[in-house]
Amino acid sequence: MAEIQSLTFSITRTSSPVGHICRVDYSYYLFIDPQEYRQEETFSVIVELHGDDIAHDHPLGKQFYDAHVVEKDSKMPAERNFIVDCETLNEALGMDQIYLKLMIKPSEGRLLTARSDVIKDRF
């Protein structure tokens, strides 16, 4: 069994010569049962940034913002970050509710997904 046991993130706004950029820091804990997976097993990880409103959720900006691979014995929790134009966050939503969607696919097995808590703010 593999299971995403936690997913958290934060957004920090900074200035740049061409406008404002936001740094998204996130961490997750992937539990991997050592009895079930071979030592050479890898897990492909994709992170999407989503906007949340009452009618539906939808990805913001790019199709995905981060992609990487973890191995069975990778250190957990995994801590990563990416940069996004703050305007992507502000213009996409009237309600300014942002969350991360994490998708992890083992080289053999079913897709795992997790959704973070929502951050409500203007960026």
Residues whose CB falls within 8 Å of the CB of residue 111, separated by 6 or more in sequence, listed in order: 103, 104, 105
Contact of 44 with 61, CB cutoff 8 Å = no
Which amino acid is present at 117?
D
Tens-digit pLDDT profile for the chain (123 aa)?
889 999 999 988 887 666 688 899 999 999 988 888 877 789 999 999 887 765 666 777 777 899 999 998 899 999 999 998 887 776 655 556 788 999 999 988 889 999 999 887 666
Domains of the chain in sequence order: 2-117 (2.60.40.10)
What is residue 55's predicted lDDT score, i.e. its pLDDT?
60
E strands, 2-75, where?
2-16, 19-32, 42-52, 57-59, 66-71
Question: In terms of C-beta density within 10 A (0-12 exposed, 13-18 middle, 19 or more buried), how is residue 51 classed?
Answer: buried
